Chain A
Amino acid sequence: MSVDVRIPTILRSYTGGEKTVTGTGDTLADLLADLDTRHPGLRARLVTEEGALHRFVNVYINDEDVRFLGALEAKLSPGDTVTILPAVAGG
């Protein structure tokens, strides 16, 4: 199944400048692994070495923040749109 993924400006260096890419996976973790095969390095910007979602990256499935959907274990359905946005934050 195929899912559209919206890529923020700062990560478009991994997608050849593309604003939207397509991937597959039953969960967000699967999708990110699939994307990394075509866009190497992208996953490492989103997932820590310990295998958790980076604290300052927001990932949404359709209109929901994945933090409320099980984070990397969040389930995906065909036709979903995943949006990645770096958190705007600071001290």
Chain B
Amino acid sequence: MLRIDREILDAIVAHARRDHPDEACGVVAGPAGSDTPTRLIPMENAERSPTFYRFDSMEQLRVWRELDERDEEPIVIYHSHTATEARPSRTDINLASEPGAHYLLVSTRDPEVTEVRSFRIVDGTVTEEPVEVLGAPDGTAVQSYKFGHTPTMVDYECRA
């Protein structure tokens, strides 16, 4: 299960919408071992591509060093799919290199509805997990999110 603040999730979705039709990517860091994502770090997609993403190598070095210094780790690694569903592609699975992270996918293929789904990717095995959004909707939500898991597990869904 991924538990994430609504404010952070909203900012991730805004990033994905802003970079559409290119894929957006980034990290949410948190204290090592906490499984709690607290600090959003939007990253440059060095590929600037609608079908691929890659963190800029120099930016990644800077950010990863900072995580080390702050005793943080990448709790969430997120990226968007701009024409397909929010599910890891073959490439995503082959290149996944953080077995401890939640891989959050956002699909921006539908301009009205944003799909948000979270996965663990360990040794080529993908496991979807529920997303629990923390922080009550304030009544002025501008985004609608569609989660991938079963309806009984939907913790948050809000129409504009």
Q: Chain A residues in contact with chain B, CB under 8 A?
A: 8-10, 56, 58, 60, 63, 65, 67, 83, 85-91
Contact = CB atoms under 8 A, between A and B. Distances in A.
Interface size class of B (residues with CB under 8 A): 20 to 34
B28 to A, nearest CB: 13
Interface stretch (B89-97, B132-140, B143-151): B89-97
Given A8-B97, A10-B98, A90 B79 contact: yes
B89 A90 contact: yes
Interface of B: 25, 27, 43, 47, 51-55, 57-58, 60-61, 64, 77, 79, 88-92, 95-100
B10 to A, nearest CB: 22
Contacts of B88: 90
13 contacts: A9-B99, A58-B60, A65-B61, A83-B64, A85-B60, A85-B64, A86-B98, A87-B97, A88-B43, A88-B98, A89-B95, A90-B88, A90-B89
B61 A63 contact: yes
Given A8-B97, A10-B99, A56-B95, A87 B54 contact: yes
Given A10-B98, A85-B60, A85-B61, A91 B92 contact: yes
Given A58-B57, A63-B61, A91 B97 contact: no
A35 B143 CA distance: 50
A36 B52 CA distance: 32
A76 B56 CA distance: 23
A88 B99 CA distance: 12
A9 B57 CA distance: 17
A88 B97 contact: yes
Given A88-B77, A90-B88, A91-B51, A83 B61 contact: yes
B49 to A, nearest CB: 9
